[in-house]
């Protein structure tokens, strides 16, 4: 299991990040692009024909 130590470290860090983010309701995407709009809104989005 120690054949790819860097990858293993990356994986462990990813697991730690995910645990931290889920525990504190944190989001990397929202930090980079805060308070994005979700759902249908604005012009030019969610266009569909019935």
Partner 1 sequence: MPPRAGPANPRGVSQRLYDCPQCGAPVKFESSIAVFAVCEHCRSMVVARNANVEAMGVMAELPPDLSPFQIGTHGEWNGSGFQIVGRVRVSWTDGSWNEWCVLTGDGRTGWLAEAQGLLMLSFEVDTKGLPQLTRKDCGAGRFFDFDRRRWVMTDVKEATCLAGEGELPFVAAPNTERLGVDLIGTGGKFGTLEFDKDGTRLYVGDYVEFSDLKLQNLRPVPGWSAEVAQEKYRTAALSCPKCGAVVNLRAAGLSMSAVCGSCSSVIDTADTNLKIIQKAKDAVSALKPVLPIGRRGTLRGTQWEVIGLCVRKDQWVSWSEYLLFNPWAGFRWLVTFNGHWSFVTRMPEIADLSGTAITMGDREYKLYASGHAQVTGVLGEFYWKVRRGEHAMLNDFIAPPFILSKEFYKDLKEFTWSHGEYMPHTEVVEAFELEDVDLPTGIYLNQPNPHAEKWKTLKRQWVALMLAVVGIQIFFAMGSRTHEIRSEHLDFDRDAQTAAAAVPPVIPASPLAEPPQTSLTNVQVTPRFKIDGGVSRVDIEATAPVDNNWIGASVELVNAVTNEKFPAEIEVGYYHGYDSDGSWTEGSQQASVSIPSVPPGEYFMTVETSADSAVRKMPLDLRVKRGGLFWSNFILMLLLVSVYPLTVLVRRHLFERRRWSESDYSPYTSSSDNE
Q: Which residue is listed with tokens 């989001």?
A: 27
Residue 27 near residue 21, CB atoms below 8 Å: yes
Give min distance, CB of 32 to partner 1, in A.
Answer: 10
Residues near partner 1 (CB under 8 A): 1, 3-4, 7-8, 10-11, 14-15, 17-19, 21-31, 34-50
Give min distance, CB of 5 to partner 1, in A.
Answer: 10
Give min distance, CB of 20 to partner 1, in A.
Answer: 9
Q: Which two tokens stand for residue 28?
A: 């990397």
Q: Which two tokens stand for residue 13?
A: 């860090």
């Amino acid at each position: 299991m120690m054949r790819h130590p860097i990858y293993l470290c990356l994986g462990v860090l990813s697991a730690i990040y995910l645990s931290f983010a889920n525990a504190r309701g944190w989001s990397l995407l929202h930090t980079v692009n805060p308070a994005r709009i979700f759902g249908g809104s604005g012009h030019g989005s969610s266009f569909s024909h019935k």
